[in-house]
Amino acid sequence: MLGGFKNFLLRGNLVDLAVAVIIGTAFTAVVTAFTGMLMSAIAKITGGKQPNFDDFAPGDVLVGPFITAAVAFLILAAVVYFFVVTPYVKAKERYFPSAPAGTPEDIQLLQEIRDLLAAQGSGQRPQA
């Protein structure tokens, strides 16, 4: 019983997941601070007021908080994409280039089988 629990705790995936959560939590603070900095820059451009739609309620339906959250999400997503994802993909491709495109091994094997069957059907010896 304790052996199974020990194996669960020491599994590589569990440790990787724990590290990802810790790094993600720390990274959230960085991205949130950067988004706040962008919102402050927008406030300076728009006359000293940060974008806030919280009081917007057309037809007495309070949609303002949703619009504010959506705008903040789009800014956050743009920050993550342009400052994290894009540089990561470029660095990964530079330092760890992907394998050249070619015929997958299973397709090659199927082609060899096809050629052998075709050679047997025509009475020829297969070429090696």
What sign has the CA pseudo-torsion 7, 10, 14, 16?
A: negative
Q: Of 1.10.1200, 2.60.40, 1.25.40, 1.20.1740, which CATH number belongs to 2-97?
A: 1.10.1200
Proportion of the chain above pLDDT 70, given as a percent: 91
pLDDT reported for residue 12? 64
Dump pLDDT digits (tens) for 21-59: 988 888 888 888 887 888 788 778 877 777 677 788 888
Q: Taking residues 121-126, what's their average pLDDT?
A: 67
pLDDT at 114 over 90: yes
**Alpha carbons 46 and 42: distance in angstroms, whole number:** 6
Quote the pTM value: 0.50
Q: Give the pair of three-digit tokens for residue 38.
A: 């962008």
Largest CA distance in the chain: 86
pLDDT at 120 over 80: yes
Dump pLDDT digits (tens) for 86-104: 998 899 888 888 877 777 8
C-beta of residue 61 within 8 angstroms of C-beta of residue 51: no
